[in-house]
Chains A and B, each alone.
Chain A
Amino acid sequence: MTPGSTNSQGRQLAALSAPAVLFTVAMIAFPVVYTIWLGFHAFSSTGEASFAGGANYAALVADGEFWNGLYVTFALYALSMVLQLVAGIYLAMLLFHSKRLSGLLRSLLISPFMMPPVVAGMMWLVILDPSLGAANYILVSLGLPASEWLASPTWVIPTIALIDTWQWAPYVALIVLGGLQSLPPSVYEAAQIDGASPFRIFRRITLPLLLPTIVTAAVLRSVDLLRFFDIIYITTQGGPGNASNTLNIYGFRVGFEFFNIGYASALMITLSAIVLAAVLVLNRLRNAVAW
C-alpha cells in the first residue's frame, strides 16, 4: 500500500465518520454551552433574558446556602467515600478468600446497585421511619435508644452515607475483586516463605498493589458522590432545615421549584467545575500509584 492510498483512505474514513462525530460533539457541547450562557443571564418574571455578567457568580459568594451546600456536598462525599472503600475492600477480600460461596455472594452483592436509587430511597425511608420503621424496632428490641435517623440534623449525613454505602460498596467490591484476581501469585508465595503474617501481607503487599484499582474505584464513585441527588431528594429533600442540602439539591430547587434558572445554572456550572477538578486530581493520583 502506497502512502498516497493510505492518506486517501484516511480522508475517506474521516469523511464517513464526520457526521457521527459532529453529532456526538454537538450533543455534548450544546447543553454545556447553553448552561454556561444561562449562568451569565438574569431572567425577568416574564422569562426575558438580560446579560448579567458575573452577577450570578458574585451572588454565589454572598449566599450562605451555597457555602452550606458546599460543606454538605464535601462532608457527604468524604464520609461515603471512606465507608464505601473500606466496606468494598473488606467485601472483596471476603469474596476472594471464600471461593465456594463467591458465585452466590456475587449475585446477592450485585442486587443493591442494580436497584433504582428512587426505589432504594423509598425502601430506606420506610425502614428508617422513627415511629413505624424496622430500624428503631430492632434498636429498641436490643435495649438501645431509638434514633430519628433522617429527621435529625446531626445524623442525617451519616444516615444518607450509610444508605449510599449499602447500595454502592458492592460495586467497589467487584472492582477491587477484579484487581485482586490479577495480582501476581509469586509475590504472595515469596512472602509466605519468608513467614509474613496475613495482616502484614495485606498491609505491605495487597494494599500497595491494589492501590491503582482502589483509586479507579474512587474516581468512579467521586463523580456520582459529588453530584449525589436521587436518594437525598427522596428521603429528605435537603432537610431537616438545610442539613442535607447538597449543591445539586440546592441547584435543582432553585431552578425547578423557584424558577431562578440563571442562578441555578451558575450553581450547576460551579458544581461541574468541582467534579471535574476532583476527577483530574484523582486521575493524577492514579497515574502516580500505577505499577
Chain B
Amino acid sequence: MLKNRSIPAVVLSVLLAGTATSAFAFDWKAHEGETVSFLANNNPWSQAVLSYKDEFTALTGINLRVDSYQEQQMRQRLVTVLNSGSDEIDVFMTLASREGQQFAASGWYADLSAYTQGSVAPEYDFAGVSPALVKAATFDGKLTSIPLNLEGPLLYYRTDIFEKCGLAKPASLDDVRAAAEKIKECDAGVTPFASRGLKPAIAYTFSNVLHNMGGTYIVDGKSALCAPAGQKAIAWYGDLMREYGPPGAANYSFYQISALYRSGRAAMAFESSNELRTIMEGGERLNDTDVIPLPAGEAGTVPTAIGWGLAISSRSARKDAAWYFVQWASSPEMQKRLALQGVASPRASVAAEEEYKAWIAEAPVRASWQAALGVLASDGSSEVGYPIIANPESRDYIGQAVQDVLLGQRSVEEACAAADSALDGLIARK
C-alpha cells in the first residue's frame, strides 16, 4: 500500500520503473520494413554518418533512402518540397540559427519533444546533449531538431610567426589588430589576418566580433548596427580585413581562408572550428598552430556556437520510423565515432571517452581546439544575424555593411545607416 511506503522509496520505484520501461520496452525493430527518406547536406557530418548507414538498416530493418546535395541546393530542394506540402521527405538537416524561425513559423518541423521523452533507447541520454544548442533549436516551446555537431569560428594563429615577431598570444581584440600591424612589418611574405569577406558569409564571423564588443542586433525592436558597439565592430572587422587581409578579401569564404592558412600564407585565420581537419591536412600546420576563441572585447568573450540539427518534416507520414533514424544518428556512440573524425560533438560526455582523449593527445593543436570548443559550448551565443524570420536576408545586409567598409566604398556611419534602414524594414515585416 502506498501509505505504508516512505516518499523516497516511492520516487525511487517510479524512477526504476521508468528506466525499466525504456530499457525493456524499446524495440529497435519496431518499424522493420519501412523506408525513411533523408535529405542531407553534403558536409563532413553527413559524409561520416552515412558511411555507417548499413549498420542502421541492420539494427532496425528500416531502409534509408538518401538524397545528398551541397548546402544551398539542399535548401532549394527542401523549400520546394515543403512548400508544396509533400510528404516526400521524412528527415532533413537544418541550421536552426539560420532558418529555424522561418521553418518553425511555416509549420515545417515536427515537434520532437515527446519523442525525446518517450520513445528512446536506454543508452540515448538526451539530457547529455548541449542544453544551449537544444535551446537554440526550440521555438515556441517546440523542439524542432536534435543537435548533431557544435561549431563556431575560432582564431587559428601561427605560433612560430608570433614568436619571430615578438608577439604574445592575443588576449583582446585590440591585441589582434596590434599583432596584424606588427606582422605586416615583420614578415611581408604572409597575410597578417584572414576572415570571411564574402557578403552572405560575413555574419557568421562578424557576429562574434559584435557580441565581444558588447553589441546586439536588435535594441527596442530596432536594428542596432549604428549603436556604438555595432559601429566599433564594423570598423574593427572592415578595417582589419582591408588593411591586413588577403588581396581579394571581399570574395573570401571558408574555402579560400583554409587554403591560404594551410599553405602557410596567413599568420591568423578566423574560421570555423569545422575547418580544423582541412587546415591540418598534409600535417604542415600541425606543430606551428594554436587555436583559441576570438579574444575578448569590451564585453568579454561571447563566441558564436551553432550546430546542424536533424529534423523530422511535419508532413512526414512515417514520423515514428523517422525518429528511429534521428535517434540512431545522434546517439552517443555515433557522435563519439564522428568526433574521432574531427566532427565536434554536442555531447560533453564524448570528451571524456578514452579513445577521444587519445586522439586529442596526438597533437597539441587538437587539445587547444578541444579547449576552445569547451568555451563555445559553455559561453556561446547562437545569434548569427538577426533573430527574426527573415534571418537569411538580414545576413545579406550585415555583409553589405561590412563589405562597404572593407572595400572602402562607404564610411562606417554611412554603411551602418544604410543597413539599419533596410533591416528595420525586415524586422517590421510579418
Contact = CB atoms under 8 A, between A and B. Distances in A.
B223 interface: no
Given A45-B102, A257-B392, A241 B409 contact: yes
Nearest to A259: B102
B400 A148 contact: no
A129 B256 contact: yes
- Most chain B CB within a 10 A radius of its CB, from A152, A240, A261: A240
Contact of A240 (B83, B250, B260): B250
Contacts of B248: 129-131, 148-152
Given A149-B248, A239-B250, A259 B392 contact: yes
Interface stretch (B72-80, B206-214, B351-359): B72-80
A44 interface: yes
Contact of A132 (B76, B79, B251, B265): B265
Contacts, number: 92
A146 interface: yes
A261 B259 CA distance: 36
A257 B246 contact: no
Given A45-B106, A132-B265, A256-B76, A261 B400 contact: no
Contact of B247 (A131, A253, A256, A259): A131
A53 to B, nearest CB: 19
Given A45-B430, A132-B260, A259-B102, A240 B392 contact: no
A141 interface: no
Interface in B217-249: 246-249
Contacts of A236: 251
A131 B255 CA distance: 13
A134 B187 CA distance: 23
B141 to A, nearest CB: 17
B266 to A, nearest CB: 9
A44 B107 CA distance: 12
A151 B409 contact: no
Contacts of A129: 248, 256, 259
Contacts of A146: 247
B251 A151 contact: yes
Interface in A37-92: 44-47
A44 B252 CA distance: 34
A167 interface: no
B274 interface: no
A44 B429 CA distance: 10
A23 interface: no
B393 A258 contact: yes
Contacts of A259: 79, 102, 392
A116 to B, nearest CB: 14
Given A47-B83, A129-B256, A256-B79, A240 B407 contact: yes
A236 B265 CA distance: 22
Contacts of B404: 241
Contacts of B260: 131-132
A198 interface: no
- Most chain A CB within a 10 A radius of its CB, from B191, B198, B247: B247
Interface residues of B, number: 37
Contact of B75 (A235, A239, A256): A256
A237 interface: yes
A153 interface: yes
Nearest to B430: A45
Given A131-B247, A258-B390, A258-B393, A46 B191 contact: no
Nearest to A236: B251
A130 B247 contact: yes
Given A132-B265, A239-B251, A239-B403, A47 B198 contact: no
Interface residues on A, range: 20 to 34
Interface in A94-113: none
Contacts of B349: none
Nearest to A45: B105
A238 B102 CA distance: 24
B86 interface: no
Contacts of B197: 151, 240
A256 B403 CA distance: 23
Given A47-B106, A131-B191, A237-B200, A256 B250 contact: no
Given A130-B248, A131-B248, A151-B249, A44 B265 contact: no
B263 interface: yes
A46 B102 contact: no
Contacts of B76: 256
B373 interface: no
A256 B259 contact: no
Interface string A143-158: 0001011111100000
Contacts of B400: 241-242
Interface string B63-77: 000000000100110
A143 to B, nearest CB: 18
B75 A151 contact: no
A153 B247 CA distance: 13
A149 B259 CA distance: 18
B250 A46 contact: no
Nearest to B76: A256
B259 A132 contact: yes
A236 B260 CA distance: 18
A41 B403 CA distance: 33
Nearest to B99: A259
Given A46-B107, A239-B199, A257 B249 contact: no
Given A130-B246, A240-B199, A256 B106 contact: no
Interface of B: 72, 75-76, 79, 83, 102, 105-107, 191, 197-200, 246-252, 256, 259-260, 263, 265, 389-390, 392-393, 396, 400, 403-404, 407, 409, 430
Given A132-B265, A150-B251, A236-B251, 11 more contacts: A45-B430, A46-B107, A131-B191, A131-B265, A136-B247, A148-B248, A239-B199, A241-B400, A257-B393, A258-B396, A259-B79
Please name the 7 residue pairs, one residue from A and one from B, whose CB atoms are nearest each other, closest first.
A151-B248, A130-B248, A240-B250, A130-B247, A151-B251, A258-B393, A45-B105
6 contacts: A46-B107, A236-B251, A237-B198, A240-B407, A256-B76, A258-B392
